[in-house]
Structures are given as structure tokens and as C-alpha cells.
Structure 1
Amino acid sequence: MSMSQPDLQPPTLINLSHSVLSGGNFTQNNQIYNVPNGERAGFMRLVQNATPNALYDSGHIVDPPKCHLNTRVAIIQTIIDWSSGTIVDEKVKAKPILWLKGSAGAGKSAIARSVAERTSKEGLLLGTFFFGAGDATRNHVGGLVATLAYQICRTLPELRGMVTTLVEDDPLIFNRSISAQFTDLIIRPLSTILSNHSGTIPIPRLVIIDGLDECSANINSQRDLLYTLQEVTGSTTLIRFLVSSRPESHLNNAFSSSRMANIHYKIFLDDDYSAYQDIKLYLQDKFQEIKEGHVFKHKLLATWPKPEIIWDLARKSSGQFIYASTVIRYVESPRHRPDQRLDAALNLRPPFKDLPFTELDALYRHIIYKAEDPSRVLDILAFPILYGEFYVEYIERILQLEEGDVEVILADFQSLVTIGMPSSASHGHIESAVKFRHKSLTDFLCDSQRAAELYRDHSAARVQHITRSILIVGTTFKHDGIRELNLMTNWLTLTHRLIVPIQPESHGIIHDLLQAASQFPTFDIVKNLHVSGYYLHKLVCISR
């Protein structure tokens, strides 16, 4: 618009409510849509507000994850039996929501897609919505109900006219709350159509919502969506929801609330089902496909890869299908020899220009950067990296944190770490320890090339831990003397785990260690330990 035409006004937008359009193009809200002959405006508004990328079979997603043949069979069948109401367990059958939770890379989306494919073929699926943090069209709840309503209209064509009329009667329906949208566009039409359903044909009832933790607007919207699903299932028995997510703390809390606790059934992939055999089968089949069809198959030995290599990869996966699938995608590159690529993935030769675990590393980086203080998270993760599972109480004292801080800081990292009873609880007063769910996380954080800006000098961190432990023991003795000998022997046990030959790159911070050691009241502590035969015996056991 030029400055010489100040009176020019933009054309008034057309009100399409209760209108029938016959062919042609129209512009509305600065977007252009092609209108099929005879299509009603209400349905077109529904389509406009839907999210195509969130469909389980969206063409937008290249090579979408699905379960490999003959893997995850028990889990998939359990979900299908639950959705159809044929599951034997009556208590499970009565639950209208199933929460499929698992750590990062455990294969939740692959299971959800495989369930969607089967239930769609069997006439049990109403709709799906796959959240994706990296896709701006599906990392929020805005298009959820419109997407589900569109799919339901296709599954049950008799609902299409009713839903279209509802949208035309309330053109701003998609600006209302998710709860109101569910009520008007899904529950009311389904109740009208399916309440009179009869016959042997199964009723489609399943709605799949995958990746709830990737709805990135804020954690409140994730919780509110769960409570909306609770309201929906409380007003109708016609819908069952399969919800998959990582076990984030706010989602654990929401599912454990009084509103949700009794209406959902939980499948925890890390606990309820062992993925080791499935991952090994997947690797065996994929390596066989490479041997039979790769362009450089003539370069491969008949014994490649050796069985122990497959077993080792399955073990390193720690239940993560993403780890195994990442290895396969790297190895099967048509531009390289598969045996050399596998050696690179196993660190048996220098990596190629494209690093083996780019996808997995991106996942770890995304989760860590979601923390309010990623640096503090890395300080805590240094302990299980260096020493294996490690007591929370000791981490808090060494890092000078308040009691309970570790659990709070790692609250949103339950897909990567566990905080619970240690496997060997030698100290009765200590109740919890931190350990990793996946070995590949240690590999990532210890590789400066992979971790990049998240990499830490763990040798230097070990010296700092030793220094702080010496100061704690010395200070405790000076203040409390023999009354705290039990605590001190525990700390001496800890220091025994910490002390190893110090790496040359850590020499820059040795001064602090030597200064702490010079202040350590060695003679007084040993004298008092000698007075108490129990503690002396304990210290002798430590030294062994």
C-alpha cells in the first residue's frame, strides 16, 4: 500500500458460517485453501485447524519408528487386548487410560505406531496425535482436538455432518479450552452415534496420544491435558486413551494424583518388559540384511559380525532401541564399508566425518538443556560416571547442597537416571543412590567430541571430590570427636572409592588437595579409632 493512498482499506473477510461453497479458491485469515466442490465451510475450518504432521502415518515423517518384526510382541498384544476389552485381567479392563512410559529411546513411539497400524486395520482406532518437540506444528495442544475429530469423521463417516454443523454453529470453537473442544466435537457426536450401536462389528474406541512430554509449551499444559482426558473418560465409556511419555516428575505426580490413580493402567518399559532379547533379534536381522543386500557385501567376512559383538551392542543398548537403530543406520550407509563403520561405532577405529551417534547425542543434549541449571546437573552426573551408583547424601555434602536438592534437581531426568535404593546398602541410614539407566549416557558425557560443550574434565572432578571429602572428615572430627566416628568411617569408605592415581591434566588443582590433606587430623583420628575396637575393625575391613 503506497502512502499516496491512505483511504485504501483491506477487503472485509467473508463470514463462512452456514455457507456452501462450490469450487474455487478463497483467502481467509491470510491463508489460501482449495475448496472441493460442495464441501461445507465447517468441515474446511476443521481441516484448517488440524495438524497433519501429528498423524501416525503422516508422510511428513521420514522413516517413522515402528517395531521390528517379532519384537515387542507381548506389549503390543497387551495394549490391543486392553483397547478391545478382551484382556483377561478385569481390573486392567476397567481402566480407560493406559500409560506407556519409558526412558529416553526405549521405543515408546515405535510401539505406539505399531499399535496404531494394527488397531486401524482391525477397526479399533479412532485417532492418533504424535507430539514432537522439534516440530512447531505439533509441539503444543492447539491442533489436538481438531486432528482427532477429523480422523473420527473419516473412521465414522456418519459423524461428519454432525461435527461440521457443530463447527458452523460455533466458528470460534477452536479458540476455546481443550476440554470444551473434546466435549463438543468428540464426546457429543460419539455419544449420539455409538449409543445405538449394535451388532458384532467392534466399536472403534482407541485414541493414541504419543510423546506427551514433548508438548513443550509448559508442564502445566501437559498436566491439564491429562486431567482433560480424565474428565472425558468420566463422561463416556466410548473412548480409551493410550498415552506414552517419558517418566517426567510432573507426569508421575499427575498420574499418581487422586484424579488419575484409579483410572489408569501403567506399562513401564524399563521394569515390566526386558528388551534385551528383542534388541538382539533386531540386530541379528538387520546385520543379516546388510550382509545380503549391501553394495559392499562382497567385502564382508562370512562370520561378520561375531556373535559377541551383537551381544555387546545389545548390552550397551540398556533397553534403548534408539541406540541399536542408530548403530544400524550408521553401519548400513551405502557409501561406506559396513565392517569399517561398525568398527568406528565400537571405537575400534577413528570415526568418519559423520559421527555414529548423532541422533542419540541430540536426544541427550535436548534433555539436559531442559534443566534450569544444566551445569549443576552435570556436577551431579559426574558421580555415577566416576563411581557407578552413588549415595545421594554424599553427593549433597560434597557439592554443598541442601538435603533433598539432588532429587529436586534431577526430577525431570528420570528417563536418564534412577534415584532409589542402592543395590548394596551397607550403610543403614542412607536410603537412596543415583545411577544411570543407560550405559550410552556415560559414553556420551565422557567423549569430548560427542558431548561438546557438555563435556567435563572428570579427572579434575575426582580430585575436587577427594579434597572436599577430606575437609568434611577433618572438620567433623574437630567439632564432634569420637561421637562421629561412625560417620567418619563411612566417609573413609567413600574416600577409599574416590582415590585413584591422579591424571596429569589434573595437576593444576592438586594444590587444594594437598592443603586439605595437611589439615587432616590423622593422628588424633587413628588414636580414637584405636580406642574403639569396632571402628578399628571397620577401618581394617575398608583397607582390605
Structure 2
Amino acid sequence: MAVLHYRFTTSQGFIMNRVTTRFSGGLDQLLTAPSLSSHSSPSALITYFGRLADNFNKLKVSGPDERTNMKSTASSGPFANAHDFVVQNPVMGETVNMIMGGNTALDRLERYIMAEAAADSSARWPPPACHPGTRKTILEMLMKWSNDPERQWKMFWLYGSAGCGKSAVAQTFAEMCIENGRLGAAFFFSRANKRHKPETVIPTIAYQLASYCLEYKAILLSLLSDKPDLLTKSSPVQFTKLIIEPFLRLRSIQQPFVILLDGLDECKGQSAQRSFVKLINDVVRDKKDLPLLWLICSRPESHLQSMFTRITDCGLEEMKIDTECITDVDRYLRDQFYELQIQYEYLTGPEWPSRDQFELISNFGEGHFIFASVVISFVGDEEYANPAERLDTLITSLERGDNDGISDAKPFSKLDALYTTVLEDIPESVFPTTWKILAWHIYSRDLVTSDLMLVSPEELCNILDLSQSAFYGALQKLHSVFYVTAPDRQDNTGYVNFRHTSFRDFLVDRSRSGRFAVEEKAALVDIAKTSLFWHELNSKFDHLAERGLYDRWSSNHRAAFLGLKWIPSRTTQIHKEISSTIACFAHQAVWDACRQTCDPDVNPDILASFLNFDHRHVELDWDWIIFVNHLYQKGCLNDFIRAEPANQADTELVEKLIVMTKGETVKAVDLPLHWGEVYSGSKCREYVLIGHGERTVLVCFTRAPGDIYARYEKLTSDSDSEHFQDQISQYQRWLEKHGWNMQPQTGRGD
């Protein structure tokens, strides 16, 4: 057993007094850490405690007036097998807060990142990468740039046309940097797979930098522990506070870290793209000692080209489709065809493919790696297990398109012909299901926040009311362009992804994809109708929740939806999680999707679905109000929403309202609704009637004086006496609590 004593004070006022540490295991590793003394610098302390942070967080530290013996739970590192660990009478300041709060700060940061955008993310597996022996010139140039201490630029733009292999080069370069300990962070944007939100970029870079640079991690976690609100600030503020200023404090970095942004043109919004370029350019121009290098890869979109050509502190390199590129693509094709030849030797033969077949594919690809990659995936599809036949089919299709003159009419005609061939392989009876899955993957994610996106096969399958076999059968012919995880997993972490953004771009452009087009308005109609179904079903669960029968959102307590087509057999909890995700998605997406389908012209199917929707238990939020007002202004609602009683059932509901308000006056609403607007602070109460027959609901809107939030009270004919009395009691208590009788009621215009 060894006893280590420390007493030290830093210029930041950090003091740890009478620290006694007893170890009977892992001591040799601990003693290799930097020695500390009263003269230790703050950076030395940060480095030291950063190395101990992950293990130290697992231990309880006794306070000034207590002494607690405990055993370490660490299985590795300097505290491996240690026990009887004691820290006595510490006075803890900035650094210890960082250590003890480190996990909390890191967990908080993790909620703001896009983990799927990392170079080694499972969501990108298998990632695009350079085929062995290809792209040597560009990779050697990038490695020389990153290693050269006399480099001219700390910022580099690598650009090229769609499908030329930029992402493969970026991925391979990132992996080379990881091997050399030089990668700081990588963000692989993808518009098709929704890795494109600008607010996630800086937190993701910071999170990855912390995993590669321990000294930076110590500073970052201390900073986030003290100022957690930094994660809600603008990207320029985060860039400065979370990345630039911490790295300016580091003096021990021998070689700069590389930060890679691939596909910047797919970041959401041109203004955000320009902002990132400007932020990076400003820092490489003004902070020349900052130990960071920046590689940006993108298509040469006009707004980016305009910016980069005016920047003098940035290297530029175009990935041209030149002789070397064509040679590299041909090498990839030969190697992959040879692998297929070995795998299916009885179906291909030693001379497969023929010289003519190979040259035709090579000429059609014109040096584009994406074309070659899709060809190999299509020909080698294991579902068919007959590459010779698949290659014949592909060549016939490509030649047919070429003879029709398509190649001269469109810039992506060869790739379009290839994608068309892939889609033509899907049976006509199956394609409507395939279309629906693709439509939801492309458009549904823009309607909700990132935590409610439908990403797993189980979630998509169930919200679309598809069986597992129907779901996977609809995607069976798309293996070359669309990735979906297998169903035999132990959790709900699967995903579906486009293998390349160019396929998504092809689908959404009818001029390119023709009858296979997945256009936004048609997709939103399907999303809106489906969301209406699930939202109405979930509103009935909400009605039960109001009576305390279950927790309305929590996947731990809520009841799972009955009748789901694909019920995972692994655990009941996954069933509940899927149900909760579907409910939350529908709640957040439904009215926005409905509004978009009815703008500018009202879609008759959506209108019919809305008028048939049971509003008795639905939550009337701001998106609902916007949609209803849109329909009202279009003259589509007739008397579905009305301010005055139209029949005996309406009159009875108004009488119930009078009972609930104890005879106080309630004004009939003035249409269109203005309930979501901010009022002057005076109180207001008015009602509206929605629906017909037994589905009629009276909604009473109440806003207390000075309260920015309102209360929506719903009265229906199916509520029993006990529930109604309880509703009255709750409503009256709310009025009393919010000072309803303290001020006279006013109208909207008062």
C-alpha cells in the first residue's frame, strides 16, 4: 500500500488540502503521471486531472467533515483493482468541478451533436472509401499538406462534381489522420440522410476534439460545467468559446489537428454554409498560431466558388475527371469484377466480363466513382446471385437510353439511366410501397425535431402499417443505392440511409426520374393522412392520460399501440418505445404537414380527412390553429367550426360551459382564431364549437390576467358526471390560482 500526499495552489485559486490517497493496485501506472507540486502550472494540473477524469468520476469523494472508504469500480487505467480509496478534507474549485462534473457536462454536450456525422459512425457504415491503390496523388498531396510545418495554408478547399469521389477521399484521409493521431474532428454532411443541420456542427466538432485531445477535453468540460448555456448560443459564439479560445490556451500540441468538413454544400441553408467558411477563414487569417487545420470538401456550387476564389488564405484543389481518375475507376471495376468472378465462378467464367462489356461500362461511367460503385452493387446483388445476367440487363438498359439520345440532353444522363435501371427492377405491384418508404425517408424528417425522426426500420414499418416482410420486400431491389439494417438486432438502433445523395437528388427531380419521381407535395399528402390516423388514435390515449390511466408520452409507462404490424419480440420496452416515437412524431408533424399540402390550393383528400377527424380529445396547439385558419380563409370549413350553437347538442354543451364557469359570461369566439397570439395582459375567455353529432366538442379558451399561457377546456357529450365534476373543480382552482377575479374580463381588441 502506498500513500501519496499533495498540497498545491494555482494562480486560478484552486486549492486541494490534505489529499490522502491509498492504493493497493495500479500504482505503477499512477506514478507515471506528471508530478505535481506547489509550483505546478494550471495547464499541468489540467493535463493531470484530465487523464484521471474518466476514472475519478466513478469514485465518491468525501467532504470536509466526513471520511468514507470505498472501492474503485474502474476496470482499467491507473485505478485498476484499486480499493480503500480516501480523499480527506478537500476544498474544490474550478478543476475539481470539471472532473466531478465532467460526465454531466459531456452528457449535456452529447445531446447537441450529430454523432452519425463522424468518420467512424455506425450510421455511415460501410463508409465510402478509396479503393486500394487509387487516388494516390490527391491523398499524398493532402498528407503532405497536413504534415508540412512550412505549409502555406491552414485552410484547404477540395471540390469536384457530384459522384467524383470527394467523400471517399475525405473518408480515407480521415482514417489516415486517425492512424497518425492527427484527426481532430470530421463532419460528413448528408442532405439525403438529414446530417445537415448547422446548429449541430460546432458541438459535434468540440465533442470529437475532446475525444482526440485530452488537454482540450479538460478545458472544455470545465467551461461547460461553468457555462452550460454556451450550447444554446449561436454558431459564431460557440466556435469562439468552445473551440478557438480553448485551443489558444494549449501550448503542448506539437502538430496541429485536422478538422474535416465533407459535403459542406449539403449543410442546410446557403447562409449557414457561407458562415462556416467565413468563421474558418477569419480564424486562420487572424490566429496563425492556432494548432488546427481545416479541410473542406464540397461540390463547386456558385455561392461557395464565389467565396473561396476571393479567399487568399486558402488552398484550392479541384478533383478533376482526368486520365488518372479514369484509370483509378477502371482499376476499381477490374478488381471488383474479379472478386465477383471468383465468388460466382460457375456462373461467370474466366473471360467475364468481356472486353466489350468492360469498355462499355467504363465509357458510360466517364471516370465517376459513384457510377462504378452503383454498377458493382447492382451486378453483384446477392439477392440475385447471378452477376453475368445482371450485367447483361444493365448494359441493355444503358444502351437503350444511349440510343434514345438521353445522354446528350441531361448532365447526369448516364447516372440517371443507371438509377432508372435499378428502379425498373422493382415489380409494379411492389413499387407503391417502395415509393412510400422513400417518400417518408426524404420528407418526414423535416417536419420534426431530430430526436423524433423516424430512423429505424421498425419505426418506419409500423407507422406505415407494413409487415416486416412487406417492408424489406419493398427495398429488396435497392441494395445498390439504399441501405437498411437487418431486422435481427437486439435493440431499436437500426437505420435506413441513402448510399449517395445523388440518388436522392435523382428521385426528387421529375425531369430526371420521370415516373419514379418522389415529389414533395405527393409525399406530404401521404405523411399528413398517415399522421392524422395516428394522432387521432393517440388522442384517445391522451383522454385516458387525463384520467390518470397512463403516462401520455413516457415510453416507460405508456401503453403500446395495439395492432402494430411488426412487433419486435425482443422486449416489451422496445414495443413501447416504438409506440411512443410514432405518437410523438404524429403529434409534432400532423398539422404542419396538413398545412403544406393545402397551400396554396386545398387538397380535397386532406380536407375530407380533417373533417372526419375526431377532435374531442385532440390537443389544439398553435400549428392546429394555423391550419384551421388557413382552411377558414379558403372557405372550406362551412359550419364544421362555429361560434354559435347550431343544434340541440351544441346548446347542451354551452349549458355545461355555464355550469363550469358558475354562470359567468363566456363570449363566442370571433373567427378566424387568434388564440395563439400574445395579448396585452388582460384576461379573456371565449368558446368555439367543433365537429358534428356525437363527435362535437366545445373548446373554452381561458387566459388569466398577466399570464402568457392559456388553458383549453374541452366539453363533450360523452363525459360522465364524475369526470365533469372533477373538471369543474380543477378549472375553478386554476382560476383562483391565477387571480381570475382580480380583473374584469376584456375582449380581444381591448
Q: What TM-score does the superposition give when structure 1 sets the normalisation length?
A: 0.56
Matched, 1:214 2:270: no
**2:191, 2:501 within 8 Å by CA — same for their partners in 1?**
no
Picking from 44, 66, 84, the partner of 2:147 is: 84
Q: What RMSD, in angstroms, separates the aligned Cα atoms of the two structures?
A: 3.1
For residue 331 of structure 2, give the secondary structure of its aligned residue in structure 1.
helix
Q: Which residue does 1:302 correspond to in 2? A: 350
Map 1:168-183 to 2 at 5 A: 168-183=225-240
**1:326, 1:356 within 8 Å by CA — same for their partners in 2?**
no
Q: For the residues of structure 2 that align with 1:368 and 1:332, how far apart are their CA atoms?
A: 22
Shift in Å at residue 311 of structure 1?
Answer: 2.5
Q: For the residues of structure 1 that align with 2:303 and 2:209, how far apart are their CA atoms?
A: 30
Cα 1:316–1:290, aligned 2, differ >3 Å: closer, same or farther? same
Matched, 1:56 2:105: no
Q: For the residues of structure 1 that align with 2:139 and 2:232, how far apart are their CA atoms?
A: 36
Matched, 1:134 2:192: yes
Shift in Å at residue 300 of structure 1?
Answer: 1.2
Picking from 326, 330, 334, the partner of 1:280 is: 330
Picking from 115, 135, 160, the partner of 1:72 is: 135
Cα 1:247–1:60, aligned 2, differ >3 Å: closer, same or farther? same
Map 1:105-504 to 2 at 5 A: 105-136=163-194, 138-193=195-250, 195-197=251-253, 203-216=255-268, 218-237=269-288, 238-257=291-310, 260=311, 262-270=312-320, 274-294=324-344, 297-336=345-384, 337-347=386-396, 352-353=425-426, 354=477, 363-364=501-502, 366-367=504-505, 445=512
Q: For the residues of structure 1 that align with 2:221 and 2:479, how far apart are their CA atoms?
A: 49
Picking from 102, 113, 128, the partner of 2:160 is: 102
Cα 1:343–1:23, aligned 2, differ >3 Å: closer, same or farther? farther
> Which one scores higher on RCO, CA 8 angstroms, separation ≥ 6?
1
Q: For the residues of structure 2 that align with 1:344 and 1:361, how far apart are their CA atoms?
A: 22
Cα 1:314–1:241, aligned 2, differ >3 Å: closer, same or farther? same
Unaligned runs of 5+ in 1: 1-19, 25-35, 379-444, 455-544
Q: For the residues of structure 2 that align with 1:147 and 1:309, how far apart are their CA atoms?
A: 45
Q: For the residues of structure 1 that align with 2:168 and 2:352, how far apart are their CA atoms?
A: 28
1:301-353 per-position Cα deviation (integer Å, ceiling 9, x unaligned): 22100133223222211221110000000111123210011111112699643
Unaligned runs of 5+ in 2: 1-55, 61-98, 401-420, 427-476, 483-497, 521-750
Letter matched to residue 278 of structure 1: D
Shift in Å at residue 367 of structure 1?
Answer: 4.1
Q: What TM-score does the superposition give when structure 2 sets the normalisation length?
A: 0.41
**2:158, 2:316 within 8 Å by CA — same for their partners in 1?**
yes
The aligned length equals 335
Shift in Å at residue 49 of structure 1?
Answer: 1.6
Letter matched to residue 240 of structure 1: L
Tell me which structure has the larger Cα radius of gyration: 2
Cα 1:131–1:23, aligned 2, differ >3 Å: closer, same or farther? farther
Letter matched to residue 144 of structure 2: D
Letter matched to residue 388 of structure 2: D
Letter matched to residue 331 of structure 1: V
For residue 95 of structure 1, give the secondary structure of its aligned residue in structure 2.
coil
Shift in Å at residue 364 of structure 1?
Answer: 4.9
Q: For the residues of structure 1 that align with 2:333 and 2:507, how far apart are their CA atoms?
A: 31
Shift in Å at residue 366 of structure 1?
Answer: 4.5
**2:185, 2:209 within 8 Å by CA — same for their partners in 1?**
yes
1:50-99 per-position Cα deviation (integer Å, ceiling 9, x unaligned): 2210101101123211110001111111111111126xxx7xx2112111
Letter matched to residue 382 of structure 2: P
Q: Which residue does 1:499 correspond to in 2? A: none
Shift in Å at residue 256 of structure 1?
Answer: 2.2
Q: Which residue does 1:538 correspond to in 2? A: none
**2:481, 2:503 within 8 Å by CA — same for their partners in 1?**
no
**2:102, 2:225 within 8 Å by CA — same for their partners in 1?**
no
**1:183, 1:232 within 8 Å by CA — same for their partners in 2?**
no
Q: For the residues of structure 1 that align with 2:363 and 2:479, how far apart are their CA atoms?
A: 17
**How high is the sequence identity, in percent, across the aligned residues?**
28
**1:22, 1:38 within 8 Å by CA — same for their partners in 2?**
no
Cα 1:319–1:171, aligned 2, differ >3 Å: closer, same or farther? same
Q: For the residues of structure 2 that align with 1:124 and 1:272, how far apart are their CA atoms?
A: 30
Q: Which residue does 1:524 correspond to in 2? A: none
For residue 297 of structure 2, give the secondary structure of its aligned residue in structure 1.
strand
**2:186, 2:260 within 8 Å by CA — same for their partners in 1?**
yes
Q: For the residues of structure 2 that align with 1:356 and 1:181, how far apart are their CA atoms?
A: 39
**2:102, 2:221 within 8 Å by CA — same for their partners in 1?**
no
Q: For the residues of structure 1 that align with 2:358 and 2:242, how far apart are their CA atoms?
A: 50
